[in-house]
Amino acid sequence: MARLIFVRYWGETEPSWDQVNVPWIVRIAVRWGIVILGLLVADWLVRGVEIDGWKALLPAAAIFLVARAVLRPLLIFLTCPLEILTLGLFMLVVNALVFAFTAWLCGKFAIGLHVDGFTAALLGALVVSVVSFPLSRVLRHRPVGWRRAFR
């Protein structure tokens, strides 16, 4: 019974783009491209976020993807009471911490992503989120012919 509920939940809540029929490498490449665009817009709009060219942009986006996939769920779990108390607004702080951690890790590997303080990290994470959300929603709807291409 529990398996049936999980399978039904997965089938009804996950967009068809995220289900099994699209190769994982394509999903990762699309997310990486979305984060690259988000970081470019953050570099352009936020005063304290600086990226030193495309050679720094590509690994910085990859580090951000990995940090967001690993660190963000852990931080959300650890700050669950604060999330409840602030009605989810603490998620902005969690995103800023992940963005700041990405900049710190890029500094350790001599990758040219620089974030000047928490305010720049907060605004940079907000810009990346604002760019990522609509792009991921648009790209998750499977275009015509997508099913035939990946069978």
The answer to whether residue 129 is domain-embedded is: yes
| pLDDT (0 to 100) of residue 86 | 94
- Find the angle CA(144)-CA(148)-CA(151) to the nearest 5 degrees: 140
Any domain includes 13: no
In a domain, 118, yes or no: yes
Count of the separate structural domains present in the chain: 1
Residue 49 falls inside a structural domain: yes
Determine contact, residues 97/123, Cβ cutoff 8 Å. Answer: no
Secondary structure class of 51 (helix, strand, coil)? strand
Please indicate, yes or no, if residue 113 is contained in any of the structural domains: yes
What confidence score (pLDDT) does residue 3 get? 60
Question: 3-state class of 67 per DSSP?
Answer: helix
Can you give the residue range of the structural domain that contains 75? 20-149
Which tokens belong to 36? 């690259």
Phi-psi region of 53 (alpha: psi -120 to 50; beta: other; left: phi over 0): left
One pLDDT digit (tens) per residue for the chain, 151 residues: 556 555 555 455 555 555 556 777 888 888 999 999 999 999 999 999 999 988 999 999 999 999 999 999 999 999 999 999 999 999 999 999 999 999 999 999 999 999 999 999 999 999 999 999 988 888 765 544 455 545 5
Does any domain span residue 83?
yes
Domain membership flag for residue 107: yes
Q: Is residue 93 part of a domain?
A: yes
DSSP structure string for 49-84: EEE-SHHHHHHHHHHHHHHHHHHHHHHHHHTHHHHH
